[in-house]
Amino acid sequence: MGNYYFLMCLLPPVPAALGEKMPIGFGEIAGTIKRNILPEHLEIAFAHLQSVDAFNWEQMDQRRDLFMEGGLLSREDMAAARALPDFIRAFREEKERGIHRAYIYDRLWELYYSSVYAVAERIGCRFLIDYLSWEIELRSSLAALRVREKGGNVDEHAILSAFNPRDYSNFVAQLKSQKNPLQAERYLDEERLRHIYRFEGSSGFSLDALLAYLSRSAIYCRWEKISEHFDIETYLWHGGSM
C-alpha cells in the first residue's frame, strides 16, 4: 500500500481545473506534510519545499511585496537573513562579487536546482530526479525561445547547461499559438501537470506520490494568485515555477 496512506488521506483533493480554489492553502498543505512525513524523508521534502524559499527570496531581494506560504523560511527569517539554506547563502556571496547574467536570479534558481537535484540523486527519489530534469530542460528551452524573440545571449539565461534539452519544438509551437500570456502560462502548467502524473509512479501512497501531490498542489494554489494581483509578464520572463 505504501508508507503514506494515512498522510495522503489527510490531504485534500486538487480541483478539477486550474483556477478553481483549493480547499486549503499551500502553507497548510506543506505544514501537514512536514508534521507527518517519515523522519528519513524530511530532507528530500524540505529540499523540494525550498523552491518556495527560492521564489520568495527572488521577490524580497527585488523589494517586491510577494510572499508564498509553505517554504521553510518566514518573512522575518528572510528579512534578518536567518537560517538561510546553502544555495541562498551562496547566491548572496556571488551577488556581492558580481553575477554576470542578464537576469541574476537565474543563478539563484540554478543553485537551487543543483542543491535539490543532488539530494534527489543521493536518496534515489525517482519522481524528483525525473521531474526536475524535465523542468530544468523546459526552463532552458523557454530561455532560448525568449532570447530568439527578444535578442541576447542564451547562455546568460540557461539553467544548468549540463542538462541537454530534448526536442521541445512542437511544445514551443503550441505555446506560441496561445492568444495571450495568461493562456500561455495555463498551457505551461497543464503540461507540468501531465508530466507530474507521468513521473509519480504507480503507487498512490509512496514518497514519489506524496512529492508529486506537493508539486501538483503548488500549481493549483498558484493559479488562485494569478487571477488576483500577479505580474504575469514578469513571471513568464523569469520562468517562475515550483
| DSSP states along 87-133 | HHHHHHHHHHH---SSSTHHHHHHHHHHHHHHHHHHHT-HHHHHHHH
Cell reading at 126 = 525517482
Burial 158-174 (b: 16+ CB within 10 A, else e): bbbeebebeebeebeee
Rounded to whole angstroms, how far apart are CA atoms 154 and 139?
A: 11
Closest listed residue to residue 211, CA positions, set 77, 40, 37: 37
Distances, alpha carbon 106 to alpha carbons 15, 137, 190, in Å: 31, 14, 23
Rounded to whole angstroms, how far apart are CA atoms 117 and 119?
A: 5
Q: Which residue has the cell 517586491?
A: 64
Q: Which residue has the cell 500500500?
A: 1
CA of residue 179 relative to chain centroid, distance? 24
- Per-residue model confidence as pLDDT tens for the chain (242 residues): 468 999 999 999 999 889 888 999 999 999 999 999 999 999 999 999 999 999 999 999 999 988 999 999 999 999 999 999 999 999 999 999 999 888 899 899 999 999 999 999 999 999 999 999 999 888 877 777 766 666 666 555 566 655 566 777 788 788 888 888 888 889 999 999 999 999 999 898 999 999 999 999 999 998 887 765 555 555 444 444 44
Whether pTM > 0.85 for this model: the answer is yes
Rounded to whole angstroms, how far apart are CA atoms 224 and 155?
A: 33
